Amino acid sequence: MNTSGPPVALSIVTSMYRSAPFLNEFHARCTAAAAQLGVASYEIIFVNDGSPDDSLRVAVALHERDPRVRVVDLSRNFGHHKALMTGLAHARGELVFLLDCDLEEAPEWLIPFHQRLTADAVDVVYGVQAERKGGWFERVAGRVFFSLFNRMLTHPIPVNVVTARLMTARYVRALVSHQEREICLAGLWVITGFEQRPITVQKGSRPDSSYTTRARLSVLANAITSFSNRPLIYIFQIGMAVMALSVAAGVILLYMSLNGRIGVPGWASIMVSIWFLGGLIIFCVGVIGMYLAKIFTEIKQRPYTIVRAEYGPEQDRQ
């Protein structure tokens, strides 16, 4: 975590990507929630994840009006999870409230989250949806995502978990200490440990979400290959199963041949076998290639984000 500047009681952290229409209301509602909580001091950290709209300009204008607003401007778009991790690394709060700024997650959740955190004396309170938002396709896709993801993990993630969560400073320090370059926050939240408690929330919805189906599939593939070696184990098991079937088929064919029950071999069966085994090999090589790509990325030790500029009280005094 960033130790520059005095500590504060609460940090509210979010990232921006095509977020300009929401920022003023988000700031107002966060300010009201912090005032209702009665904290002695707080900060609101906006991380600009290379947003192509006016998000940076709006956030800097908020900073000029409210010195409690800090803006971290990344040099390009690095991705939602990496931007959030960068914001957490800059947080100075004894408590850190993380959420998205598109208002699908309500800043007012801070109050019940804090009540639960205090009552249970835990390090994290995170939101989960009682029922996944959106239409039938989004709900089905969400169930498929969590089902596939958790089957691959030794530490499953909560179903329908959302970004919003209230965390203690010691948990955030442990969270940002992870050195992965390929980040999946949902997995990192779980493997970091500490005492965590869920709270049921009702998440809003907007039709122009930046998470397309292609993006969701990319997140799924990245999450699985970043946090589990089970696909490699499954490849081994598939190979053993194909070998066993091949041996069994060979024994049967040999028996039928010795008894004169096989005529001219069929072209179709040969082609089907070639296509099946070829597809299986390509699939397995592709999965192994994804793991090799992860290794290639990790060993270079590049920073997962690059900060172009910061706007905060410390920078204003320079």
Structural domain that includes position 263: 230-299
Judge contact between 96 and 169, C-beta under 8 A. yes
Instruction: Tell me the pLDDT of the chain averaged across its residues.
Output: 81
pLDDT at 120 over 70: yes
Asked if residue 3 belongs to a domain, the reply is no
137 & 151 share domain: yes
**Domain assignment present for 1:** no
* Mean per-residue pLDDT, 174-190: 84
Same domain, yes or no: 177 and 257: no
Same domain, 205 and 256: no
Assess whether 31 and 159 both reside in one domain. Answer: yes
85/164 same-domain check: yes
Determine the pLDDT at residue 132.
Answer: 65
Statement to judge: residues 80 and 41 lie in one domain? yes
pLDDT tens-digit readout, 226-283: 666 667 777 777 777 776 776 677 677 666 666 766 555 654 466 557 767 776 787 7
For residues 240 and 214, membership in a common domain is answered with no
Question: How many CB atoms lie under 10 A from the CB of residue 118?
Answer: 12
Residues 166 and 255 in one domain: no
Overall number of domains in the chain: 2
Residue 288 pLDDT level (bands cut at 50, 70, 90): confident
Percentage of residues of the chain with pLDDT beyond 70 = 70
Give me the mean pLDDT over the 65-70 stretch.
95
Are residues 35 and 89 located together in one domain of the fold? yes
Q: Does some domain include residue 202?
A: yes
Task: State whether 172 and 295 are in the same domain.
Answer: no
CB distance 150 to 156 below 8 Å: yes
Helices 213-227 and 136-151, interaxial angle, to 10°?
A: 10
Q: What is the pTM of this model?
A: 0.74
